[in-house]
């Protein structure tokens, strides 16, 4: 793997596709065991989760359903104001829900998603996130149960994560060169 340039930024290799797939296998097994008899609903937060969600679903070997929601919150490298939650399309009453995120950094998007689902009377809500930035969190969560990688305050692209709409298709994760 070599460095890449997207727009005005240079990125260096950070997490390989193979490392990502190994973490996803582990998360998939843990979720399958926990929800074996519960037919959970996986809700992917678009756009960034699409690669993680796709590969995670391949590792889930129990009955389940899935849907997607969309939030508008990022502008370039900075988070903007979240405008609304679009989607779901499944009755979540008394259902076990697993929210699938690409990354949790400040936690603003996750907080908004959880608040939107809070009043639906779900049986439970857990979160699976490929990446989390613990030092950037502005909120406390007790239901981020599945995390692929804890990373420092790095700006990353690849494997669903973008910079200005570009880089989502990369199979590895890259970070801005220091």
Q: Which residues are catalytic?
A: 105
Instruction: Name the strand (E) or helix (H) holding 19.
Output: helix 17-34
Q: 6 near 167, Cβ under 8 Å?
A: yes
Residues 6+ apart with CB under 8 A from 44: 50, 52, 53, 66, 67, 68, 69, 100
What is d(CA 172, CA 32) in angstroms, rounded to the nearest whole number?
A: 25
CA angle centred on 176, ends 81 and 17, rounded to 5°: 95
């Amino acid at each position: 793997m070599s460095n890449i340039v997207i727009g005005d930024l240079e990125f260096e290799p950070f997490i390989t596709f193979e490392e990502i797939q190994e973490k996803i296998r582990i998360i998939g097994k843990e979720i399958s065991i926990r929800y074996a008899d519960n037919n959970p609903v996986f809700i992917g937060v678009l756009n960034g989760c699409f690669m993680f969600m796709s590969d995670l679903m391949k590792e889930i070997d129990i009955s389940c359903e899935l849907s997607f929601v969309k939030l508008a919150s990022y502008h370039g490298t900075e988070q903007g104001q979240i405008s609304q939650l679009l989607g779901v399309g499944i009755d979540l009453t008394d259902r076990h829900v697993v929210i699938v995120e690409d990354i949790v950094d400040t936690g603003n998007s996750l907080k908004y998603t959880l608040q939107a689902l809070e009043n639906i009377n779900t049986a439970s809500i857990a979160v699976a996130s490929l990446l989390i930035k613990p030092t950037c969190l502005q909120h406390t969560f007790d239901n981020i149960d599945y995390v692929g990688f804890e990373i420092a305050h790095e700006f990353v692209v690849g494997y669903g994560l973008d910079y200005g709409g570009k880089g989502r298709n990369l199979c590895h994760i890259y970070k801005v060169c220091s």
